[in-house]
Structure 1
Amino acid sequence: MDPAFRQGAREGLRTVLPFSVGTLPWAIVTGLAMRSTGLSELESMGMSLLVYAATAQLGALPLIASGAPLWLIFLTGLVLNLRFLIFSASIAPAFHDRPWAQRLASSYLLTDSAFTLLSPRLLTAAAPQWRWGYYIAPAIYGWLLWHVGVLIGVFGADILPRDWSLEFMATIALMVMLVPMARTRPMLLAALAGGISAVLLRGLPLRLGLFAAIAIGIATGFAAEHWQTRGEEK
């Protein structure tokens, strides 16, 4: 194994380990939610492996439970995962020299926390092997940790006490990821606009308020970045 790859892998794991404390309870909550919706153990694990996106899974589950049409379930997952297009485009230069199979694997393993925590050094490091190790080692670790938590939730749905309030830990995990991402003014404005809109529009049917809030947040972020760039050019 290339020494640069090993060094990158070690540094990547050191970067994400302190922030992975919220992953396990969040994964357990997702496993419990899938079983509560009526999915079997096999269906729940299959969905987790195929989708591997907690927000899309949790967003689609109420629609599955209510018997919503397949196109709406698919559209919900697509909209909730649109941010990964931006994430992928942002870190794509770090993988331009990797084989197609490795780029495909890296796209499947991309998560919010991996992008937030790893992208700054990924885009500035010069050694290709170091960059690959720095990303792939913590990405695989996160994948394994997530599915261990989902397994616990899926197969412990009838055993785990419901008064543990694990949902609160999942909220904390989201906040831990959100705070570093909102360090710039456009990102902060996008988060505020999307969050406030989601609360105000939560009464719309078919969860359309969520779609509208996502669109408002994205539009606000792009507009704020455009205005900021124009201001710096003047």
Structure 2
Amino acid sequence: MFYLREHRQRAEFWEGVRDQGTVAMGIGAWGLMTGVAMVKSGLSVLEALLMTLIVYAGSAQLAAVPMIAAGAPLWVILTAAFCVNLRFVVFSAHLRPYLMHLPRWQRLVSGYVTGDLSYVFFARRFPKPGQSPDELARQQAYLMGNCAVNYIAWMVASVVGIVLANAIPTEWGLGFAGILALLGVLSSLASSPLRIVSAGVAGAAAVVAWALPLKLNILVAIASAVAICLVLEKAMPHRPAAGAPHV
């Protein structure tokens, strides 16, 4: 709460709250079904609650839970979760110029609470790092407002799903609402030819590599999109007025 208090005085914090609020229902539906899936896969209510509160990574949780239920070795479970979350390495590399001025504990908190949609909204709102301490502080306030809504929506819905797991049938398929939320934001980001190519390459690579174990198709999709776009960006003529396009 102390960390948020210093940001709530800025208009950008509430702008982040409003932006993330547009997809909060999708995030909540995703969290609800993740909570249900954890309990119905064999975890106790306490174990599921601890996993949600500590891990806070829906895709990694969904990848790990079947392995836990099947009695897979710990190293296999950790490897699967690591591979699924490798996309956050890319997110972190991009966010480094925005956050590097902060104390280490604040960088750790920011990294922990930043989710997929939080990153997407932030990258769309601030394509370049601030050039002054005040501008960087405003960007951080937006990110924290965004992350606060994402965190609350996910945690509340996930806990409800855990507690009411036996009353909510998995056949409802509410987790698909989270995917729709991602698609909606993705469509709004397709604002340049390079971004459209990036989305197309990532989608195609993910489908082609679907059979890979440990959900490594996600890593293949990210690496393919980044590699192709770097090549295209170097091949494209520079535009002095607008600068190089951002992926």
* Structure 1: segments with no counterpart, 5+ residues: none
Matching of residue 55 in structure 1 with residue 63 in structure 2: no
Structure 2: how far apart are the matches of 1:70 and 1:2? 40
Matching of residue 26 in structure 1 with residue 34 in structure 2: no
Structure 2: how far apart are the matches of 1:60 and 1:199? 21
In structure 2, the residue matched to 1:135 is 143
In structure 2, the residue matched to 1:157 is 165
Q: Is the 8 A contact 1:5 1:130 kept in 2?
A: no
Which has the larger displacement, 164-173 or 143-152?
164-173
Q: Which letter does structure 2 place at the counterpart of 1:106?
A: S
In structure 2, the residue matched to 1:179 is 187
Q: How does 1:43-82 map to 2 (within 5 A)?
A: 43-82=47-86
Structure 2: how far apart are the matches of 1:50 and 1:166? 23
Structure 2: how far apart are the matches of 1:53 and 1:193? 25
Alpha-carbon deviation of 1:106? 0.3
Identity of aligned residues (%): 29
Matching of residue 225 in structure 1 with residue 227 in structure 2: no
Structure 1: how far apart are the matches of 2:184 and 2:71? 33
> SS of the counterpart of 1:158?
helix
Q: Structure 1 residues 203, 91: closer, same or farther in 2, change over 3 A?
A: closer
Alpha-carbon deviation of 1:49? 1.8
Structure 2: how far apart are the matches of 1:62 and 1:182? 34
Structure 2: how far apart are the matches of 1:3 and 1:167? 31
Structure 1: how far apart are the matches of 2:184 and 2:178? 10
Alpha-carbon deviation of 1:103? 1.0
Matching of residue 17 in structure 1 with residue 21 in structure 2: yes
In structure 2, the residue matched to 1:94 is 98
> SS of the counterpart of 2:26?
helix
Q: CA RMSD in A?
A: 2.7
Compute the TM-score of the two structures, normalised by the length of structure 2. Answer: 0.80
In structure 2, the residue matched to 1:42 is 46
Q: Is the 8 A contact 2:13 2:146 kept in 1?
A: yes
Render the CA deviation track for 1:25-59: whole Å, top value 9, x for unaligned. 11001101111111111111111122211111112
Q: Structure 1 residues 191, 58: closer, same or farther in 2, change over 3 A?
A: farther
Q: Which letter does structure 2 place at the counterpart of 1:46?
A: L
Match of 2:216 among 211, 219, 232: 211
Q: Structure 1 residues 16, 52: closer, same or farther in 2, change over 3 A?
A: same
Q: Is the 8 A contact 1:23 1:173 kept in 2?
A: yes
Compute the TM-score of the two structures, normalised by the length of structure 1. Answer: 0.84
> SS of the counterpart of 1:232?
coil
Q: Which letter does structure 2 place at the counterpart of 1:42?
A: L
Structure 2: how far apart are the matches of 1:92 and 1:189? 25
Alpha-carbon deviation of 1:108? 0.5
Render the CA deviation track for 1:52-107: whole Å, top value 9, x for unaligned. 11111112222222222222211111111111111111122122322221111101
Q: Is the 8 A contact 1:5 1:134 kept in 2?
A: no
Q: Is the 8 A contact 2:117 2:182 kept in 1?
A: no
